[in-house]
Chain A
Amino acid sequence: MLNSLGREIPEYIEGIGKLEPFQGALTKLSKGWMDEPTIPAPNKAYLPHQNKLCNSLEEAILRSNPHNGMTVSFHHHLRNGDILLVQTLTILHNMGIRDITLASSSLNECHDPILPYMKDGTITRIYSSGIRSQLGHAVALGVLDIPVVIHSHGGRVRSIHTGKIQIDLTVIAASAADCEGNATGSHGKSAFGSIGYAVIDARYAKQVIVVTDNLVDFPCIPLSISQNFVDQVVVVDSIGDASKIATGTTRITNSPMDLRIAKLAADVIEYSGFFEQGFAFQVGAGGASLAVAKFIREKMKTKGIKGSFMLGGITSYCVDMLNDGLFETIFDVQSFDATVSNSLLNNRRHIEIPAALYANPFNCGCITNKIDVVVLGALEIDVDFNVNVITGSEGKVRGASGGHSDTASGAKLTVVVCPSFRGRIPIIKKRVHTIVTPGESIHVLVTERGICVNPAFPELEENLKRAGLNIKDIHDLEIEVDKITGIPAPLEYTDKIVGVVEYRDGTIIDVIHQLKEK
């Protein structure tokens, strides 16, 4: 069957189940409720003064009823410094557990060591917002028989509510925790800031293990994860590589190209009609995206504009803007550097939020719904403004859906920033390889060679033209870039589906086919 973007979606996939085609970003939400029932959270009881402390991760896992076919979940707040995911799966592998569904909120390069477990049947299914490095390559080549499911951060919460992802065991790394399992990421030697993605796992997993390298006296404050959901607590020497968990401060890029694109994007925001008192703003942490914040900061100071809140992945740059009084509040679902942890811990206007409040579409209002302006990146964008942030030009899975479609759907102005080509590869395509975010959610594309406004928003285009910005038709820009780079030969795929890209409402926006090995 075809979804509304013309992508062929199978009706059923063995191991995943029945699929529903994407029908528009707000079509399902406009009903006002979610059709699928919400499954109940586990029902547990503990005796007074029962000891939750375990001597080792292995012992805790043994007590957690490990079994074939189980689903194990993790958060990715330790980014590329995480070691617990690999340790846990190695323990399960050594116990002879097979057919595991891995449900990590994202997968990074540090998780490459689990590749053998994907080959030997230890891991047979993956749900994640992102897959990179060797795992992404292997997935693209079809290492798993059952396609991986790529979800957004908000969509992951929905999947857990509906029981699409039923977590048997979650292992939650925390930089501080007490003996009852009250836990946080906001202090300790391995502090990583917000633990927002793990909150839903703690609530719904049948077994919850908190692992920390910093056991503090009861109670551990703040209660980012609270003890009433935690079964066991493990103290280890280290939860990860501190140098990769949180670097000092995030620096604004020095790349002239990223800065050029960022400056143009800031101009777009300034003249869009949405740059006004009390606006809400989100930027990513990557090159051009974060650099937009630098220019917006200057413009806010010059024009005397004060924003309402910043949202999302939070960098020290966002914290600086909060401390400058440029924004009232930060809502932090994920933090990117050490300075952020200090702010999260000490500034009451810097608020830790769970993924559900951040972006779950099926509740009475996630915060992404209140964004005025969001700046996002792209691996590819097509002439219909559909964005790919999951598969690279060589066909590998190498990115993350993350909050891309969540924030794009909620914002009044979604700005995509990217260079018009990378290396020799054009970024603007007639058709992107994989759609993650539908073009209807994207208002404007900013590249170094011109700004393209989605024709669905003529008033915005008028505003930007009036400001004298270099507006081009996206078809013209595509042709212009093709003239510079040439048109790359198409990649070759088999009919086998290796990945399913779920839109935040649970419908399927695209599938990823197996890359033919050269």
Chain B
Amino acid sequence: MKRNYKKRRSMLYIPGNNPAMIQQGGVYGADSILLDLEDAVALNQKDAARILVRNMVNVIDFYDAEVCVRVNHLSTPFGLADLEAIVPLQPSAIRYPKTESAEEVAELLNIIEKIEDRHGLSHTKMTLHAMIETAMGVQNVFDIASKFDRVDAITIGGQDLTADMNIVYTPDGAGIDFARKRIVMAAKASHIDVIDTVFPDVNDEEGLRRETEYAKKIGFTGKAVINPRQIEIIHDVFTPTEEEIRKAYRIVKEFRANSAAGIGVFAIDGKMIDAPIVTRAEYILRLANVTVG
């Protein structure tokens, strides 16, 4: 069973062919940076983006942010070249678009691991984020999420999904609501992160907050960001409340004290505290940047 919840409240998309934006990517406080070689890059810029990201990904200081690269799908003329260029650099994760089946992930991992073998790299450092952007992907998401240790997050791509479903995206998200909840459930079943789609209107702060609150309520652990101005609201929603932090702090502290004394299960205020509760408490403290001293 995977237990890979990370601090991924926000994932900031940065077009891979924009050096100024890449250079500044780390200063906005996003938990995760996504250098994009796929949809944010025009067809005639694919090579430029790949070369730029290859040259910058390990040179620029992104501070505390996790750095991921979204490659093109292997069915395009760019996918394999992207992997050949990026995998040797071992960013935190590769994000794979339009993932539709476990077989597809297996094929992708096979290619990645061969590249890693050629460069003498381990198969455990870099993870994979599978993007679910088609009806078929939604259908197969449980297998995609659960069968591979290296898949430690799944995400929903709302724009592509509505296009694939041949419907129009509406602000209430009605068309993708089933997909959202199914993807969340697949992630929860596999104990991995699940990131909600972007909110496209960067000037609608209230709409962003509403949608983010909904995403959190139904189980998403973070949300994709298309403009740094959106980060603060998303963090505000996903950061635990003071009450949650205090409770989590108490749980982790007492857990450690009890563990040291050889006690596995204990109670706080009459409620039994076991491993899953401690894991969630630790996750809350991570989100809040709180360490138990």
Contacts and interface: CB of A to CB of B under 8 A. Distances in A.
Contacts of A263: 232
B229 A448 contact: no
A34 interface: no
B78 interface: no
Interface in B236-271: none
Contacts of B29: 260
A52 to B, nearest CB: 52
A260 B28 contact: yes
B289 A256 contact: no
B90 interface: no
> Do most interface residues of chain B lie in helix, strand or loop, or is the interface mixed?
helix
Interface in A483-498: 484
Interface in A140-156: none
A449 B27 contact: yes
A260 B228 contact: yes
Contacts of B28: 256, 260, 448
B24 A259 contact: no
Q: Which of A256, A263, A448 is most buried by chain B, counting CB atoms within 10 A of its CB?
A: A256
A484 B26 CA distance: 13
B27 A260 contact: yes
Contact of B227 (A256, A448, A484): A256
B22 to A, nearest CB: 12
Interface string B213-228: 0000000000000011
Nearest to A254: B229
A257 B229 contact: no
B23 interface: yes
B232 A256 contact: no
Contacts of B23: 484
Contacts of A484: 23
Interface in A245-281: 254, 256-257, 259-260, 263
Nearest to A260: B28
A256 B226 CA distance: 11
A364 B29 CA distance: 46
A448 B24 CA distance: 9
A40 interface: no
Contacts of A259: 228-229
Interface size class of A (residues with CB under 8 A): 10 to 19
Interface residues of B, number: 11
Contacts of A449: 27
A48 interface: no
A225 to B, nearest CB: 42
Contacts of B289: 468
Contacts of A256: 28, 227-229
A333 to B, nearest CB: 32
Contacts of B24: 257, 448
A256 B12 CA distance: 12
A516 to B, nearest CB: 31
Interface string A462-474: 0000001000000
A259 B24 CA distance: 13
Nearest to B64: A470
Contacts of A260: 27-29, 228
A512 to B, nearest CB: 31
A257 B228 CA distance: 8
B232 A448 contact: no
B227 to A, nearest CB: 6
A287 B281 CA distance: 40
Nearest to B203: A254
B200 to A, nearest CB: 16
B255 to A, nearest CB: 24
A260 B229 CA distance: 8
Contacts of B229: 254, 256, 259
Contacts of A468: 289
Interface string B16-43: 0000000110011100000000000000
A352 B227 CA distance: 40
B234 to A, nearest CB: 14
B188 to A, nearest CB: 30
A257 B27 CA distance: 8
Contacts of B228: 256-257, 259-260
Nearest to B20: A423
Interface string B58-102: 000100000000000000000000000000000000000000000
A97 B27 CA distance: 56
A368 to B, nearest CB: 32
Nearest to A256: B228
A484 B227 CA distance: 23
A484 to B, nearest CB: 7
Interface string B121-154: 0000000000000000000000000000000000
Nearest to A483: B61
A448 B21 CA distance: 13
16 contacts: A254-B229, A256-B28, A256-B227, A256-B228, A257-B24, A257-B27, A257-B228, A259-B228, A259-B229, A260-B28, A260-B29, A260-B228, A263-B232, A448-B28, A480-B61, A484-B23
Given A260-B28, A260-B228, A263-B232, 6 more contacts: A257-B24, A259-B229, A260-B29, A448-B28, A449-B27, A480-B61
| The 6 A-B residue pairs with the shortest CB-CB distance in the complex, in nearest-first order | A256-B228, A448-B27, A256-B229, A260-B28, A449-B27, A259-B229
Interface of B: 23-24, 27-29, 61, 227-229, 232, 289
